[in-house]
Structure 1
Amino acid sequence: MKALVWHGTADIRCESVPDPRIEDDRDAIVRVTTCAICGSDLHLYDHFMPGMEKGDIMGHEFMGEVMEVGSGAKSALKVGERIVVPFTIICGQCDQCRRGNFSVCERSNRNKAIADKVFGHATAGLFGYTHLTGGYPGGQAEYVRVPFADKTHIKVPSGLTDEQVLFLGDIFPTGWQAAVQCDIEPTDTVAIWGCGPVGQMAIRSAILLGARQVVAIDCVPERLSMARAGGATTIDFREESVVERLNALTDGKGPEKCIDAVGLEAHATATLDSIYDRAKQAVMAETDRPHVLREMIYVCRPAGTLSVPGVYGGLIDKLPFGALMNKGLTVRTGQTHVNRWTDDLVRRIEEGQIDPSFVITHSVGLERGPEMYKTFRDKKDNCIKVVLKP
């Protein structure tokens, strides 16, 4: 089969690889009909995340048709069914899964011993990500093996297109969880840093959850335009001070809720801290760039909440923890507990409250994946979200 394969920094290739096969009775084999490039795939493309190995198959946002089902999954899945596959692999039986904390499933990370050493305790296995999260082959391929398939799936209602439901596997529930973690009240201003795909979903989620005002921060014109179309007030951080504008929009009090939809590759316009971070990265004294985290801590209203769906991979420096503590801020983070949210989100799609396909700007064949990684990373051709068709 054909798949997008990681060979090193900025080196993704479309290659022939062995077809997947059933390895456990809870497995299923899925023929991928649609997949996507996610912003967190770019952290792998740029090699900011540790644990990648040459030959790894990319992709964790995908869906398709069930082609083969192991004996232990036949009660839950049937050949021919359409499913979206969450990026988090879940057993559905461990203590964390029973609590709905699916992204920290205790059984699905097959490299648990390595992850325990790095994180203290392992998190769930993820498709198409690093070997710290199991090293599972991803879904930017013609076929994929789905472990624990009796639990790791979302069935697609008839009448909905791939494009309407594809993002249930990651960015839609990620943006939704980011907003839910804020405990939004009708009087709240929610500020969202980053208007990429997750930021766009967070904007619409915050509005659906009843925020009084949503403010979106970015510097890319087409992303800001899409944010405005979704109901947000926008700030171009290259044109004006984020802190000053947020204070002006909140009568000097700051937003009650702040969402970091950027993560470890934050960009800033020649601020002292961004220069510092890039210098530290260059000598491998810091892995991640936390400019957005620092800014959120500074501008957030005392007793407010910081929600962090943006991916961080390692070590950050000069975090103003004194301000965080003294202002009494609550910080909520984590990979997404996808299956906790999807029943509700499927209903909202069916009822027409939201059509997640709005975010798609490019749809191409799988063979064009390598060039689209670069287009997406470099924000060329007005690219916001890339869908691939194997």
Structure 2
Amino acid sequence: MRALTWHGEQDVRVDEVPRPEIANPTDAIIEITATAICGSDLHLYNGIMPGMREGDVLGHEPMGKVVEVGEAVETLEVGDRVVVPFTISCGSCWFCGEDMYSLCDNTNPNAELIRKEMGHSPAGLFGFSHMLGGYAGGQAEYLRVPHADVGPITVDSDLPDEQVLFLSDIFPTGYMAAENAEIEDGDTVAVWGCGPVGQFAIQSAWMFGANQVVAIDRVSERLDMASSHGDAETINFEHEDVYDRLMEMTGGRGPDRCIDAVGTEAHGTGVGSVSDRLKQGVGLEDDRPYVLREAIKACRKGGTLSIPGVYTGDVDGIPFGSLMNKALTVKTGQTHVQRYLDPLMEKIEEGEIDPSFVVTHQASLEDGPELYETFNDKEDDCIKVMLTP
């Protein structure tokens, strides 16, 4: 079968790879009808995420039709149309029992690798390095789905792929980011990063009762989308000081809730941003935490900082004294996708949101390498890429 594969920093290719087969009785095989390139994939593309090996199949936002099921699979049948969460969860461990699916104890066969770095292993993820299981991803013609009874949601309606595909990751991720922010009626919410996750965090902030949503970025088309589709006020950080503008907008108090939808490859202005790039370049830190510093500084006293943006290792210069003395709450994590599938599907079916608004580019799998470059370089007004094998 054809698949997008990783061959090193900024080297993605379309290769012929073996078609997946049932390996365990709880597996299913999905014929992919739509998949997407995620902002998190760019961390792999740029060589930020450790544990990648040449030839790894990329992608963690897939959907398609079930073509084969293992003998122990009870909830899926051949022919079912399904969306597959990026998190692989067993459904039986303590964490799955607590609806914390991205922390599953049993789905990372390489748990010891990441345990040495982090103390514990989160769940295995599709197409996201051998540190997180080494599972083949969904930017391919077919995908093996382990624990197929725990995760894939069946699409029973005739909604098009582009309306339901993003249940696999970015819609639940933006929604959980807003939930973690503990938004209350009347709050001002500031969202750093207007990529796809940021766009859904903005949409979700309104669902939780925000009174004002402020979107922060430097890419004009992203800010335009946040304004036109998300009804957010916008700040271009290359044109004005974010902290000063947020203080002006909130009467000096600061936003009640801050969401870092950027993560490891944050851009910024001034000495701090330059220092982060230099330290990352020589291996003195793994991530660029510019947004974290800015959000901690700007958030009001007693506010909440939610971090859906992916970080991969150590960061430097976090103002922990400010975090503590301002009594901020911090909530983070990979998304517990399975927890949100049914309620968010209901929102789509009832017309409360049409997630397809975020798609700017649709193409074939063969166009994937070129579109990785376009997306990474933020060219051609590219915000979200959807691929059809």
One fold, TM greater than 0.5? yes
1:16 and 2:16 matched: yes
Distance 2:263 2:114 in 1: 20
Distance 1:372 1:39 in 2: 12
Q: Contact 1:273/1:291 (CA < 8 Å) preserved in 2? A: yes
What is the letter of the counterpart of residue 31 of structure 1? E
Distance 2:17 2:114 in 1: 27
Q: Contact 1:14/1:369 (CA < 8 Å) preserved in 2? A: yes
What is the letter of the counterpart of residue 146 of structure 2? P
Corresponding position of 2:192: 193
Once the 2 structures are TM-superposed, how far is the Cα of residue 157 of structure 1 from its aligned partner?
A: 2.5
Instruction: Give runs of aligned pairs for residues 48-197 of structure 1, distance below 5 A.
Output: 48-73=48-73, 75-197=74-196
What is the letter of the counterpart of residue 355 of structure 2? P
SS of the residue corresponding to residue 34 of structure 2 reads strand
1:34 and 2:71 matched: no
1:266 and 2:266 matched: yes
Corresponding position of 1:354: 353
Instruction: Give runs of aligned pairs for residues 248-327 of structure 1, distance below 5 A.
Output: 248-269=248-269, 271-327=270-326
Distance 2:321 2:2 in 1: 51
Question: Which deviates further from its counterpart, 331-340 or 180-189?
Answer: 180-189
Once the 2 structures are TM-superposed, how far is the Cα of residue 37 of structure 1 from its aligned partner?
A: 0.1
Q: Contact 1:193/1:261 (CA < 8 Å) preserved in 2? A: yes
What is the letter of the counterpart of residue 36 of structure 2? A
Corresponding position of 1:341: 340
Once the 2 structures are TM-superposed, how far is the Cα of residue 32 of structure 1 from its aligned partner?
A: 0.3
Identity of aligned residues (%): 60
What is the letter of the counterpart of residue 196 of structure 1? G
Once the 2 structures are TM-superposed, how far is the Cα of residue 183 of structure 1 from its aligned partner?
A: 1.4
Distance 2:208 2:271 in 1: 36
Distance 1:182 1:115 in 2: 27
Once the 2 structures are TM-superposed, how far is the Cα of residue 376 of structure 1 from its aligned partner?
A: 0.2
The CA deviation string for residues 50-106 of structure 1, in whole angstroms up to 9 with x for no partner, is: 010111000000100000000011x21000000000000011110000000000001
What is the letter of the counterpart of residue 36 of structure 1? A
Distance 1:47 1:68 in 2: 34
Distance 1:384 1:234 in 2: 17
Once the 2 structures are TM-superposed, how far is the Cα of residue 265 of structure 1 from its aligned partner?
A: 0.2
Stretches of structure 1 lacking an aligned partner (at least 5 in a row): none
The CA deviation string for residues 143-184 of structure 1, in whole angstroms up to 9 with x for no partner, is: 010011111211113121110000000000000000001111
Corresponding position of 2:386: 387
SS of the residue corresponding to residue 152 of structure 1 reads coil
The CA deviation string for residues 288-313 of structure 1, in whole angstroms up to 9 with x for no partner, is: 00000000000100000000000000
What is the letter of the counterpart of residue 61 of structure 1? E
RMSD, aligned CA: 0.6
Distance 1:28 1:159 in 2: 22
Distance 2:248 2:319 in 1: 23
Distance 2:256 2:157 in 1: 40
SS of the residue corresponding to residue 57 of structure 2 reads coil
SS of the residue corresponding to residue 8 of structure 1 reads coil
Distance 1:118 1:130 in 2: 15
SS of the residue corresponding to residue 47 of structure 1 reads coil
Once the 2 structures are TM-superposed, how far is the Cα of residue 19 of structure 1 from its aligned partner?
A: 0.6
Following superposition, which runs of at least 4 residues in structure 1 exceed 4 angstroms of deviation?
Answer: none
What is the letter of the counterpart of residue 216 of structure 1? A
Distance 1:183 1:17 in 2: 44
Once the 2 structures are TM-superposed, how far is the Cα of residue 211 of structure 1 from its aligned partner?
A: 0.2
Distance 2:186 2:205 in 1: 12
What is the letter of the counterpart of residue 64 of structure 2? G
Once the 2 structures are TM-superposed, how far is the Cα of residue 117 of structure 1 from its aligned partner?
A: 1.2
Q: Contact 1:123/1:133 (CA < 8 Å) preserved in 2? A: yes
TM-score, normalised with respect to structure 1: 0.99
TM-score, normalised with respect to structure 2: 0.99
Stretches of structure 2 lacking an aligned partner (at least 5 in a row): none
Distance 1:56 1:204 in 2: 33
Distance 2:271 2:383 in 1: 28
Once the 2 structures are TM-superposed, how far is the Cα of residue 118 of structure 1 from its aligned partner?
A: 1.6
Distance 2:109 2:76 in 1: 23
SS of the residue corresponding to residue 71 of structure 1 reads coil
Distance 1:23 1:9 in 2: 31
Corresponding pairs, count = 388
Question: Which deviates further from its counterpart, 42-51 or 153-162?
Answer: 153-162
Distance 1:3 1:290 in 2: 33
